Structures are given as structure tokens and as C-alpha cells.
Amino acid sequence: MKHYVLSMKQKQQKNNPTVSDKGENSMSDTKKQPRTCLHIPDEIFQALFKEARNQRVTVTEYILNVLHKEATNLNKGK
């Protein structure tokens, strides 16, 4: 089964590594952009793609719209 990977940037930040005393970057010294990565099974992606195409938006935009609506409903207590 083929999976699609969809990465979404949460916030625009510059990759701003800092150098430690030894001149090497460690994991904690490197600042990276926060991301969310979803592994979407093929059959689910195809359904999302179809609906996104009907709405004339990208799959990423469609998923973000659905997630935004759901988060709004959760915040309202639905």
C-alpha cells in the first residue's frame, strides 16, 4: 500500500543554528521549523484529492480547512 506524506509548516521561522563551544552543532543547538507530518494511506488521499479538486483548492488547503472547522467546533464544545 502506497502512503502519501504531507508536511505542513506551522510557523515561518528562519533556520537559525547556534554553534556550541566545541564548534559543532548538537541537536539542542539547532532551531528548526515546527512541522506536522501526516502519513496518509492511498485510498484516503484519493478521496481528499477528489474533494479538494471539486473545491478547486490543494489537498493541503482542503485538509487545513477541515482541521480548522473541527478545531473551531472543539473549542465551542461541540
Residue 57 lies in a domain: yes
pLDDT at 38: 83
The answer to the question of residue 16 being in a domain is: no
Q: How many helices (H) and strands (E) does the chain have?
A: 2, 2
Q: Is residue 1 part of a domain?
A: yes
Distance in angstroms (rounded) separating the CA atoms of residues 10 and 49: 21
In a domain, 58, yes or no: yes
**Structural domain boundaries, residue 51:** 1-8+32-78
Alpha carbon distance 66, 74 (integer Å): 12
Any domain includes 18: no
Domains in the chain, number: 1
Q: What is the pTM of this model?
A: 0.55
Examine residue 44 and state whether it is found in any structural domain, yes or no: yes
Residue 65 placed within a domain:
yes
Digit-coded pLDDT (tens) for 21-70: 555 555 566 677 777 888 999 999 999 999 999 999 999 999 999 999 99
In terms of pLDDT, which residue wins out, 52 or 18? 52
13 within some domain: no
16-34 core/surface letters (b: 16 or more CB in 10 A; e: else): eeeeeeeeeeeeeeeeeee
